[in-house]
Structure 1
Amino acid sequence: VLFVTQHNPFCSPSLNVTCRLLGSVPPGGFALLRWELYAETCVAPYTVCFATDFRDVFFQAPFLFPNQVGIDLMVFEEEGIVIGTNSYNKKWVRSCHGRDGTRRVGEEHVICSGTVLGSPRGFKWVNDYFNSIDTSCCSTGGCDQGHFNWMLYTTQWNTTGLTVQFVQNQEGIVNTLAHVKLKGYPIYNHDGSLSPVCHQWDRHKHLLITYVKQLVRDLKHNKSYHFPSLKQNFNTTPSLLHNSK
């Protein structure tokens, strides 16, 4: 399911993509709204869903969903950064929880809110948490990641029976690239296997050039696309929810 505010060339039956038109972008952007959309979409008969950003994500290889028995959320660390030393994440946490809050979680690894794998129960729990807190303390882009990290590191989710698995970068299905020193393309995990999901690829100029050229070639040879609409795809930031029964 692809959440969009306008026509998108990827909304095509031939690609098996269902698009949900949202209309105008809400005042706070998609950051907080997406958790409600995930919870609404990831329901039975689905047992596991993969929620991901769209604009800055590409897939290098198919992947099998990890065994989700007993796991409600699988979250992915960013490469080599902790909350207290990263200006963006520190700002998002401090704006709502002050300096004491920043010190409390400052040594914890940053968890990216742009790629999350979970069960319907897990996504509902996250959305319920967001609905239970005052989110007005932070209104800049990316604030939901501050709330998300605070939730993961300070709430007693384990007492509710919820299970969360933290995955190091380049160790699972997601490779979050913003702080990774890349040697070239394709992109690999630490064990030498191909990284199935590459997030934040547009932080690297050589990947931006390589991938956009390939995308243009693909679009030109696929009659189901409307090539002039390609520009719209890069001017919007919808989220993609990939479901697996």
Structure 2
Amino acid sequence: MLGTVVDLFWNWKGISSEVADLQRWDKNSTFTVHQRSDETNRLSFLSTSKAKHELQNNLILGAAVGLNLSVLHRFVQSTRTSCNLCTITLLVHDFSMRSDHFRLLSDVFHVVLIPYQQFLLSNKHETFVMKSIHSQRWTIFSSYLQTLQKEGKAFDNVFICDVSDTIFQANVFKHMNKMGDGLYVFLEDIHFRISKSNINANWIRVCYGEQMLQQIGNKSISCSGTVLGSWPAITTYLSTMTAQFLNLSRACLKMTGNDQGVHNFIIHNGLIPDTTIYLIPHETGFVATAGLPKWLKRNKFGHILNSRSEIYAVVHQINRSPQLLAQFDRIYQTLPDDILNRKA
């Protein structure tokens, strides 16, 4: 049975929990998540209005391979501030895990780190023909969640997002409360269509042919850099993405950013089995994709707002706006080494 697509243009909507310490990679592909017992004491202080999404077991998952400390810190601190009890899991280079600064970041903000190279060496059942981490991450994430499922460590909900250009302003999971389980995908500016964007059109054309571009070219662009869903929906989505990559042409696999073409292909063709797909608009939704819109609205305290003056839970593509990037770099800055032990 194909998935159901729910288009939410001009309509609009509520979930978080759990913290894990540094996760060690087992060469037999076994994941061990160490729960922090001290976090459970916080639950008694939650207000009734927060109880549902705070008491759920939610995961934020991203690929941070090759990112520097300041970029990673910006993402992690904004995420932890917005989602106090979520598990944050990031794929990083092995050498990053040996860095004292990265290990401190993991410890302070309770981040689970997956070593990228060790994963590739241990993953004997897949051939990684994709060159880019943007393509590889879907297979890695799918395998990771399958491992958690087998070990009885599944989460309630998962948010997969880009790391280098994303910040959090509020708990993204709370918006699922009003709409229910399923897959939430986030549309870019309403004025743009796949066929009107050269790069998006080319991903579809090269990966799936001119006929497919004609078929879905008038659809809105859905960004693959932010995907939210209940556990069954996310695992099914990842399996579908992985299956697509195993059958794509060499020309498609060579393209940087091809995962967005694959994402739009499966979303707009309803190819995710037994899954309700919610198409969330940029203008009135709770996740902003800042690249294409001509305007960005902020309040006096710097929060990015949608057209209804509601604070976005997540803002993606902040690097497309020099002013936004400078703002969040100031808020989430790391200190230079020469002032760490100085008072003035």
Aligned partner of 1:179 in structure 2 is 292
**1:68, CA displacement in angstroms?**
8.1
Query: 1 or 2 for the larger relative contact order (CA 8 Å, sep ≥6)?
Result: 1
SS for the counterpart of 2:292 is coil
User: Is structure 2 residue 120 aligned with structure 1 residue 7?
Assistant: no
1:105-128, Cα deviation, whole Å (9 max, x unpaired) = 010000000000012322222232
User: Is structure 2 residue 258 aligned with structure 1 residue 143?
Assistant: yes
The answer to whether the Cα contact below 8 Å between 2:305 and 2:311 also exists between their aligned partners in 1 is yes
CA spacing shift, 1:163–1:213, aligned 2, 3 Å: same
The answer to whether the Cα contact below 8 Å between 1:58 and 1:199 also exists between their aligned partners in 2 is yes
Which residue of the other structure, out of 165, 172, 189, is the alignment partner of 1:79?
189
Which residue of the other structure, out of 106, 112, 121, is the alignment partner of 2:217?
106
CA spacing shift, 1:98–1:22, aligned 2, 3 Å: same
* Range with bigger deviation, 162-171 or 65-74: 65-74
Aligned partner of 1:239 in structure 2 is none
Which residue of the other structure, out of 187, 190, 207, is the alignment partner of 1:96?
207
SS for the counterpart of 2:275 is coil
1:17-72, Cα deviation, whole Å (9 max, x unpaired) = 11111029975211222222333444443111111110000112334251287533
Aligned partner of 1:193 in structure 2 is 310
| Counterpart code for 1:146 | G
Which residue of the other structure, out of 154, 167, 171, is the alignment partner of 2:269?
154
The answer to whether the Cα contact below 8 Å between 2:135 and 2:257 also exists between their aligned partners in 1 is no
Distance in 1 between residues matched to 2:328 and 2:264, nearest whole Å: 30
Aligned partner of 2:112 in structure 1 is 18
TM-score with structure 2 length normalisation?
0.58
| Counterpart code for 2:185 | V
| Counterpart code for 1:148 | H
TM-score with structure 1 length normalisation?
0.79
Distance in 1 between residues matched to 2:270 and 2:288, nearest whole Å: 26
User: Is structure 2 residue 322 aligned with structure 1 residue 205?
Assistant: yes
* Range with bigger deviation, 148-157 or 71-80: 148-157
Distance in 1 between residues matched to 2:278 and 2:138, nearest whole Å: 19
Distance in 1 between residues matched to 2:136 and 2:269, nearest whole Å: 22
Aligned length: 219
